[in-house]
């Protein structure tokens, strides 16, 4: 099977994500661990979340990541995108939502 990549970066399309699930940022799985140790999902609006990242992108990788999130609600996350997400989250969202993004990024990176 031929794997397609975007022109903008090394991000893979949804068709190829199944094989690399460990590095996929899925907006529907963004959450934080509460005091009882349970994961609490933060219900971000897919389009608003992606637009916030797109409007504050500092790299082509983040630009492509935001485009993929806007379209599919999930995208391949590389080290550049992870660093930008960590930096942008506290500026774009309130504390609990930003910490949920950061916790999700950490979980993806350690898989």
The backbone region for 37, taken as left when phi is positive above 0, alpha when psi lies in -120 to 50, beta otherwise, is left
pLDDT range class, residue 110, cuts 50, 70, 90? confident
pTM > 0.85: yes or no: no
pLDDT in the model for residue 22: 55
> Helical H runs in 22-77?
46-55, 60-72
pLDDT tens-place string over residues 30-40 = 999 999 999 99
Q: What is the CA radius of gyration of the chain?
A: 13
For strand 31-33 and strand 74-76, is the pairing parallel, antiparallel, or unpaired?
unpaired
Query: Quick check: 24 and 73 in contact, CB under 8 A?
Result: no
Q: What is the pLDDT of residues 59-95, one digit of tens each?
A: 999 999 999 999 999 999 999 999 999 999 999 999 9
């Amino acid at each position: 099977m031929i794997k397609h990549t975007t022109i903008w970066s090394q991000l893979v399309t949804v068709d190829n994500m199944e094989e690399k699930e460990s590095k996929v940022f899925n907006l529907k799985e963004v959450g934080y661990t509460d005091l009882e140790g349970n994961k609490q999902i933060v219900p971000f609006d897919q389009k608003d979340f992606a637009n916030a990242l797109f409007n504050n992108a500092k790299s082509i990788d983040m630009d492509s990541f935001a485009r993929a999130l806007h379209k599919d609600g999930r995208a391949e996350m590389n080290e550049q995108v992870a660093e930008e997400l960590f930096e942008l989250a506290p500026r774009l969202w309130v504390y609990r939502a930003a910490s949920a993004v950061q916790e999700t990024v950490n979980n993806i990176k350690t898989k």
